[in-house]
Amino acid sequence: MNLSTSMDGQLNHHLLPATPETVHWGFFSRSLKPVLSVASGDFVTIETLTHHAYDDHARMIQGDTGAESVFRWTKDEKAVDRRGAGPLDASIHGRGAGEGFGVHICTGPIFVRDAEPGDVLEVRILDVRPRPCRNPAFSGRAFGSNAAAWWGFHYNDLLTEPKPREVITIYEIDAAQSQNWARAVYNYRWVPQTDPFGVTHRVIDYPGVPVDHALVEKKHGILNGVRIPIRPHFGVMALAPKEAEFVDSVPPGYFGGNVDNWRIGKGAVMYYPIAVPGALFSVGDPHASQGDSELCGTAIECSLTGTFQLALHKQHHLAGTPLAGLDYPLLETSDEWVVHGFSFANYLAELGNNAQTEIFVRSSLDAAMRDAFRKMRHFLMATKGLTEDEAISLMSVAVDFGVTQVVDANWGVHAILKKAIFAGDTR
């Protein structure tokens, strides 16, 4: 499907809605058929849906034809069958097709014409808007879900009973964005939910399972008066990795993916090394807000629509630019450069045949810190022409390292370099 309205030789603005035909759920693949083909410089407006929308059907799906079409799941029909990189026959864990090994609804992939391995794709995020609720009962608002789930950093370290437990908190934001904060509406403890195919999910082990609100006990009046600053961004922006046919969408890596840095929002620019022909760019996991660490396993998971411009940088033009030798996702904002370190820079290549299971038990912030150090050193030496000694001293006195996330299997530490440091550089 190509929704392009392109005319040769001009920049074009494409629209990519989220439908069962334009999304892939829980995985990346070099073999996916592109849903759109664009030229370098083209604009694309992309709808993205949160995979947590069924935590509150009335607020996040009902009345929204796009969301309804993607989440449709009856005993006879499942609009998007594969959810995850696992087997389709659900033989291993019986969770369902794809096994939930990967959870994010991703819109795409988009084929970038002339993109080849070794090139770099620049993704400019021009605008990010919340997806308004289409249920008239909640007009003017948008909603998101925060799941404190079994993969969270807190899960086996709770103080209060019952232990362990998973808790869903529903947040509300102003769809018109005239308020820059979110507030909590209510929360509930996850109880076993039986999906339309008859599989019971005792924990949140498969994405998009309909939550029967008759079974849960809602607690209102929570986080009274608390205003969460909104930071709308995309948790997942990915190019297709080359190393495997089906790649779980959870662990981030050199190809981007589930980086989960809240700075990847409006005005930000991301650069990714291209691994496969056409780059195969996808977007998903929209967030209204997240803190550095994404502690409990998720952000405020909230459907968003973004407008992007994609620009291709050919390999033979990279020398002498900040993109030379780029082998990781690089973020540029108006004020900062941010490099992303992971426990394993390329876990698919480093961890062998069982990489996609090993990564879930091998991560450490210490290794992610090591990787972020090496990447920032590379950036300073390659981009700014510093010696290693200059780069190391500068990092110690002026670069801030932070915890991106500790919940996405391949844990992340990012390093922030302020551009103003070089304001006096007149070379």
| 51 binding its own copies? (CB under 8 A) | no
Report in angstroms how near the CB of residue 262 gets to its own copies at its nearest.
9
Residue 54: CB atoms within 10 Å: 20
CA-wise closest residue to 241 among 87, 124, 109, 113: 109
If one asks whether residue 398 binds its own copies (CB under 8 A), the answer comes out as yes
Asked if 291 is part of the footprint of its own copies (rule: CB under 8 A), the reply reads yes
Residue 411 CB, nearest approach to its own copies (Å): 8
Stretch that binds its own copies, among 95-103, 122-130, 131-139, 289-297 (CB under 8 A): 289-297
Residue 146 lies near its own copies (rule: CB under 8 A):
yes
Q: Which listed range, 54-62, 192-200, 220-228, 274-282, lies at the site for its own copies (CB under 8 A)?
A: 220-228
Q: Is 228 in the site for its own copies (CB under 8 A)?
A: yes
> Which residues in the 183-202 window bind its own copies by CB under 8 A?
183-184, 187
Give the residue with the Cβ less far from its own copies, 77 or 425.
425
DSSP secondary structure of 219-231 = EES-STT--EEP-
Q: By the 8 A CB rule, do 152 and 297 touch? A: yes
Residue with Cβ nearer its own copies (77 or 389): 389
Secondary structure class of 305 (helix, strand, coil)? strand
The Cα–Cα gap between 263 and 286 comes to 13
Of 10-18, 135-143, 177-185, 248-256: span binding its own copies (CB under 8 A): 177-185
**Interaction between residue 402 and its own copies (CB under 8 A):** yes
Q: Does 217 bind its own copies (CB under 8 A)?
A: no
**Kind plus residue range of the DSSP H or E element containing 260:** none
Q: Please report whether residue 236 would count as binding its own copies according to CB under 8 A.
A: no
CB of 364 to its own copies, least distance (A): 6
**Residues 303 and 143 sit within 8 Å (Cβ to Cβ):** no
- The answer to whether 148 and 166 are in contact (CB under 8 A) is yes
396 counts as binding its own copies under rule CB under 8 A: yes
Task: State the DSSP string of 25-76.
Answer: ESEE-TTPPPSEEE-TT-EEEEEE--TTGGGGHHHHTTT-HHHHHHH-B-SS
Taking CB under 8 A as the criterion, the residue among 229, 319, 320, 357 binding its own copies is 229
Considering only 70-78, 134-142, 191-199, 386-394, which stretch makes contact with its own copies by CB under 8 A?
Answer: 386-394
Rounded Cα–Cα distance for residues 295 and 404 (Å): 10
C-beta of 137 vs 420, nearer to its own copies: 420
Q: Which of 373, 375, 383, 409 binds its own copies (CB under 8 A)?
A: 373
Q: Torsion-angle region of residue 420: left (phi > 0), alpha (psi -120 to 50) or beta? A: alpha
CB of 39 or CB of 386, closer to its own copies? 386
User: From CA 71, how far away is CA 81, in angstroms rounded?
Assistant: 10
